[in-house]
Amino acid sequence: MDTIEAMTEDNTSDWSDRLTKMADLPPPRKQRSRGPSPFSYKNLPMIVSHDPWDAYEAVKLNPEHLLQNRVLNGDQNHPAQTAFDLLRTKLMHTLKEKGWKRVAITSPTEGCGKTFVAINLALSLARRDNTRTVLMDIDLRNPGMATTLGVPARNRMRHFLDGQLREHEFFCKIGKNLMVGLNSKPETDASELLQRNSTHDTLTIMGHELEPDVILYDLPAVLKYDDVLSFLPQVDGVLLVVGGGKTKATDIRKTEKLLGEQVPLLGVILNQDESISSRLF
């Protein structure tokens, strides 16, 4: 409307002159047909989604070594396998209901079998076709997961948490649905390392890059150092492993009090003589 009102009698003649000149111009040349445009939608390449897990070559586990280290690896004849599968189902139900995926596995004191539980639970989860699991050895002072699995650690966990390594330089794939982050060297400043912003950032990026359904962190004993308390902001819940005949009731109460103040306790797992029983909350 403003443009129309701006056309006064003084500039009307200018518009008439421009229209007259345009009428005297020769007609535009007829464009030659060039056939289909090379940039038509039909000629665009197909967009194929990239699965980052395909870039990792799966490592093979030695069944004899696993047996010697109490790793079940799907042996349905072993009485503990049913218990781990039941724990897997209960845990997945809880995580799905809460919208969680990051689980710490720890114990009140050393020698309760937390690594045994972490590895066997991870392998049980990985046997589900639609469940991808990441398992990381965050027991930085005493890493033992590589030895238990019989898989050489590629690098130090410290270098990954510091952001010096990318996922493909650090993780190993076991089967189709399990990534393991192993540690090649103990760290004496574990608590300080776990509290760094770089640790939080690295684990956040890892979650976006690998997009696992479940992340299991094998942590040290709660009452030994403050490493577990330092790492709790990175997890949604905790599974507590107690050793049958080894763990004192007072230690369990101390641990539950410490954990309960910061993060939900998902359940307690009793590990005794290569068999487990679990009570999830």
C-beta pairs of 5-8 under 8 Å, 24+ apart in sequence: none
| Per-residue confidence (pLDDT) for residue 57, from 0 to 100 | 86
pTM for the model stands at 0.81
Angle, nearest 10°, between helix axes 114-126 and 79-98? 70
Residue 30 to residue 221: CA distance in whole angstroms: 83
| Per-residue confidence (pLDDT) for residue 127, from 0 to 100 | 93
Contact predicate 153/183, CB 8 Å = yes
Contact predicate 207/216, CB 8 Å = no
Backbone angles phi, psi at 220, to 5 degrees: -70, 180
| Per-residue confidence (pLDDT) for residue 275, from 0 to 100 | 65
The total of other beta-carbon atoms located within 10 Å of residue 10's CB is 7
Q: Considering only CA atoms, which of 246, 269, 231, 258 is closest in space to residue 110?
A: 246
Which residue intervals of the chain bear CATH 3.40.50.300?
59-280
- At 190, the amino acid letter reads A
Cα 73 to the center of its chain, rounded Å: 21
Residue 152 to residue 87: CA distance in whole angstroms: 28
Q: Per residue, what are the HEC states of 225-277? A: CCHHHHHHHHCCEEEEEEECCCCCHHHHHHHHHHHHCCCCEEEEEEEECCEEE
CA angle 80, 86, 92 (to 5 degrees): 135
CA distances from 120 to 79, 127, 254 (A): 13, 11, 26
Tens digit of each residue's pLDDT, the chain (281 residues)? 444 344 444 444 444 454 444 445 555 444 444 445 454 445 555 555 678 999 998 999 999 999 899 898 766 777 788 999 999 999 999 999 999 999 999 999 999 999 999 999 999 999 999 999 999 999 999 999 999 999 999 999 999 999 999 999 999 999 999 999 999 999 999 999 999 999 999 999 999 999 999 999 999 999 999 999 999 999 999 999 999 888 999 999 999 999 987 999 999 999 876 567 766 75
Fold of 59-280: Rossmann fold (3.40.50)
| Per-residue confidence (pLDDT) for residue 273, from 0 to 100 | 63
CA distances from 158 to 119, 130, 144, 181, 202 (A): 21, 31, 15, 11, 11
